[in-house]
Structure 1
């Protein structure tokens, strides 16, 4: 084993040069290193980096792997570990997380991270960045016309990759950014490997320790705008960071920008020592043994040679604000080139076409026309508006259920006679409401479908661009086999409905299992949805012919949400939701 650097070598001199090495015994070296770590820990109250942000780091959670050595074969479990977003590295030292060898635990199936406590926003000293407001990622045909911009961050352990990633996210000021750590993709360890890891004898810094097939498939789905089992969906920018980020050729082809964080080896060693000793309770002998046996050789053999593959090399890591500013400017320019204007394209398309065959309009009986007359009347009181709207919703839901698949079945009556009837042939029915007006249709669905699962999607219009933006999403698990009833009270251009359908398709719901329900639609919205998604069933109680220059249905029903909830803020005949629902 080579000679270890002394604390004097690790600390810069007052003149900016390292002081020459001094001969010390291993015992002296360990004492000096511990002293160095303690001094750095005591200075946290005054350090601009290690001081104030330590107080607020607890709410930020990331996912680390916890190996379960009990049971046959062993499995990786997942646990939430507090990690400050401004820490210098996301590389996890797993020794503290290892249970005693032989501890009896039942094996678990391996999965990717399911961290449910990811913060919905990112707070900085100047502003709060909400992870919301995703603009359209598809064209007027309903197909994805742009992929997410993928950034790869490579570098040695404790080089500052995570800190650089966080700084890029803060400086970008762009919502819907996904930070994907390579630490979430370690392979399942065998029992022998788990025993080696418990004694610092397993190499977590080798390419063979990572599941590159899973990494590649996850990145591909994220770039295509699809959901993945790690609770991530819908990214405009993907930041993938890890020590082996550039070690696979297929993975490199998925990255639009490759950044290598180059930090001095002495600084990386000090950071790793401080992290593993003071924060994770490891002993200094184990840390140094692991560093010299695995971490440093892996850096020299696998990580440092990948620097030549990087588009940008960032010396000094997070301290190089100039390089980070240049990266942010380039990402902004790339995002501007990928911007789409969907709503204007919808308004100019599908003119004078016949209504599609997938459209089903509730039969216009005198009763139905009478209820429409009441809810369209501007003089109708709120109580009457709600009452007759609910009646129409119930009729609409009942009508929609007739399009579900049914199969023949035979039951016995109380008289002991057979009755040849029908039963639902699908797996399950799930309702998804487009907030806020679509939420008013949920009681009617619950009244008709027993134990139906409900999801919600919030889509609002950007007041500057006029484009729909996805702000919130909550869907039940495993809906890909369900028949999904998508509910929105009014559909004018179809922009919000198309976005909601696109979200369901990204969650692997088949197009022919989606039913779009609305009390009132404009012909433009019907054509837009049917043209983009020809197998989606569209069901409504009425279709109005025109949409004015402000994309409002004529003659229309007014702002349904305002009239229903009693928040008549804009008495202008708008069919749009408050805040600009992009129906």
Structure 2
């Protein structure tokens, strides 16, 4: 199975995501595939993530069952979401009760269901979400939250997973893990003593006072809501194999999106034909200087040094042109001569440059040269050699990017498939569509139409638009392998 994880990265203001990153399967996948398109030619999500709800008493083996389902499914892009992350932060009075094992962590009131429902709904819709990290030693949330993005299958486990109507509505399959009470008690003793720093007397006191009554009152009655009941927890491989077979038979998982991905570029190539270029497109004026720079960098006999030098000049002109589309407001300043000058200032909160790796990264120096202290992010999108479709492999975005205007950079755009994927990633991170400026040296008309049709509020800036693509979707006449 290919799983993926999220790391806060080395910088305080950045977020790294390596997709995928960890392989723990007994049947290892043949390739570390990226995430193929999860949206249609209109730019909208075509399939929500499939949510499996896992419920059961404390220490019943829910996480073990979840991991074994993940392993047996052998499906990429799986997220395991724990209800434990959504405990409410305790007040000082509640902290004192918890220290003496007199606080009921198994009561519905101990969980932030509003945050939980909002988070699961956004994750199901393909959005980026922040998951609190709960510390069972201090009974509070850690400073840094986990950022989760890219799920096609979500396994949500918790003792009260079935206790909220809105949560139930988000689940596509509900599984109850039924384990004998004495086994759960033994497991809870081992877990709380070794992992949470508690003593045996406190654990037994809490079990008798809260855990056992809460199970009988709130958890066990929800077993009737389950589609499947798994007796004996993670040791019941027969039940787990039956669950996996049912999921595959129903064809409700990621396999459906894989078949769609194989036709994604073909759909783009046949859509939006014979339409006028959109008003959101701005082409740098074809002055003799711009035409001359194109002549040099398109010439197959140009040396590498000259290609780099003149490409940098053209990129600089393009970035300068793109900045003129950012919002500004009038301002008045005083000159050294004591006179008032009416000028303009950027009226947004911040600017972030995001490059589509690899070629888009070559445009970053020009952006840094004209935007002081600009933040940058990266999105790695590569073409699958078998399907010919773009796949998302990695992204690193600054925190709070949703508040910024984003300059999205790529050197050339043919069908627009990679650009659309990058825009979709930004939208999933709550960047407003009208705050995205797509910048490219060279674009095919097909790519312009694809992006503009799917995302009509994204500004598209380039130095030239060409009409033709070859059979491999390369721009004709192009620049070559720019990166």
- Give the TM-score, by structure 1 length: 0.74
Task: Provide, for residues 308-363 of structure 1, a one-character-per-residue CA deviation record: whole Å limited to 9, x for no partner.
Answer: 11111112211122322232334342123344232211111011111111111111
Tell me, in whole angstroms, the C-alpha distance in 2 between the residues paired with 1:482 and 1:177: 29
State the match for 2:176 in structure 1: 260
Q: What is the CA distance between 1:438 and its match in structure 2?
A: 0.4
Greater strand proportion? 2
Tell me, in whole angstroms, the C-alpha distance in 1 between the residues paired with 2:74 and 2:256: 17
Task: Provide, for residues 208-251 of structure 1, a one-character-per-residue CA deviation record: whole Å limited to 9, x for no partner.
Answer: 11111111111111111111122111211111110000111111
Q: Looking at CA atoms only, which structure, 1 or 2, has the larger radius of gyration? A: 1
State the match for 2:75 in structure 1: 174
Bigger mean CA deviation after superposition, 114-123 or 337-346: 114-123
Among residues 460, 475, 482, which one is paired with 1:553 in the alignment? 475
Among residues 337, 350, 353, which one is paired with 2:275 in the alignment? 353
Q: Measured at CA, do residues 558 and 167 of structure 1 come closer, stay the same or move farther in structure 2, by a change above 3 Å?
A: same
State the match for 1:188 in structure 2: 89
Q: Measured at CA, do residues 328 and 144 of structure 1 come closer, stay the same or move farther in structure 2, by a change above 3 Å?
A: same
Tell me, in whole angstroms, the C-alpha distance in 1 between the residues paired with 2:380 and 2:270: 26
After TM superposition, the structure 1 = structure 2 runs for residues 338-349 of structure 1, keeping only pairs within 5 Å, are 338-339=257-258, 340-341=260-261, 342-349=264-271
Q: 1:272 aligned to 2:272?
A: no
Q: What is the CA distance between 1:466 and its match in structure 2?
A: 2.2
Tell me, in whole angstroms, the C-alpha distance in 2 between the residues paired with 1:252 and 1:304: 16
Q: 1:367 aligned to 2:289?
A: yes
Tell me, in whole angstroms, the C-alpha distance in 2 between the residues paired with 1:307 and 1:224: 27
Q: 1:245 aligned to 2:161?
A: yes
Tell me, in whole angstroms, the C-alpha distance in 1 between the residues paired with 2:22 and 2:293: 43
Q: What is the CA distance between 1:174 and its match in structure 2?
A: 2.5
State the match for 2:458 in structure 1: 536
Tell me, in whole angstroms, the C-alpha distance in 2 between the residues paired with 1:181 and 1:460: 32
Tell me, in whole angstroms, the C-alpha distance in 1 between the residues paired with 2:343 and 2:446: 39
Tell me, in whole angstroms, the C-alpha distance in 1 between the residues paired with 2:35 and 2:356: 15
Task: Provide, for residues 445-484 of structure 1, a one-character-per-residue CA deviation record: whole Å limited to 9, x for no partner.
Answer: 0001000000111111222222222111111111222111
Among residues 162, 171, 176, which one is paired with 2:63 in the alignment? 162
Q: Measured at CA, do residues 310 and 277 of structure 1 come closer, stay the same or move farther in structure 2, by a change above 3 Å?
A: same
State the match for 2:225 in structure 1: 309
Q: Measured at CA, do residues 501 and 195 of structure 1 come closer, stay the same or move farther in structure 2, by a change above 3 Å?
A: same
Tell me, in whole angstroms, the C-alpha distance in 2 between the residues paired with 1:348 and 1:356: 17
After TM superposition, the structure 1 = structure 2 runs for residues 34-53 of structure 1, keeping only pairs within 5 Å, are none
Tell me, in whole angstroms, the C-alpha distance in 1 between the residues paired with 2:24 and 2:397: 26
State the match for 1:500 in structure 2: 422
8 Å CA contact retained: 1:547, 1:554: yes
Q: What is the CA distance between 1:388 and its match in structure 2?
A: 1.3
* Secondary structure class of the residue paired with 1:142: coil
After TM superposition, the structure 1 = structure 2 runs for residues 43-442 of structure 1, keeping only pairs within 5 Å, are 120-124=21-25, 126-127=27-28, 133-230=34-131, 231-332=147-248, 333-335=251-253, 336-339=255-258, 340-341=260-261, 342-442=264-364
- Give the TM-score, by structure 2 length: 0.89
8 Å CA contact retained: 1:122, 1:129: no
8 Å CA contact retained: 1:132, 1:472: no
Tell me, in whole angstroms, the C-alpha distance in 2 between the residues paired with 1:331 and 1:515: 41
Tell me, in whole angstroms, the C-alpha distance in 1 between the residues paired with 2:411 and 2:20: 31
Q: Measured at CA, do residues 133 and 187 of structure 1 come closer, stay the same or move farther in structure 2, by a change above 3 Å?
A: same
8 Å CA contact retained: 2:6, 2:148: no
Bigger mean CA deviation after superposition, 440-449 or 229-238: 229-238
Tell me, in whole angstroms, the C-alpha distance in 2 between the residues paired with 1:492 and 1:118: 25
Q: Measured at CA, do residues 498 and 560 of structure 1 come closer, stay the same or move farther in structure 2, by a change above 3 Å?
A: same
Q: Measured at CA, do residues 370 and 533 of structure 1 come closer, stay the same or move farther in structure 2, by a change above 3 Å?
A: same
Q: What is the CA distance between 1:176 and its match in structure 2?
A: 2.1
* Secondary structure class of the residue paired with 2:148: coil
Q: Measured at CA, do residues 125 and 513 of structure 1 come closer, stay the same or move farther in structure 2, by a change above 3 Å?
A: same
State the match for 1:27 in structure 2: none
RMSD of aligned Cα (Å)? 2.4
8 Å CA contact retained: 1:277, 1:284: yes
Q: What is the CA distance between 1:531 and its match in structure 2?
A: 0.4
Structure 2: gaps spanning 5 or more residues: 9-14, 132-146
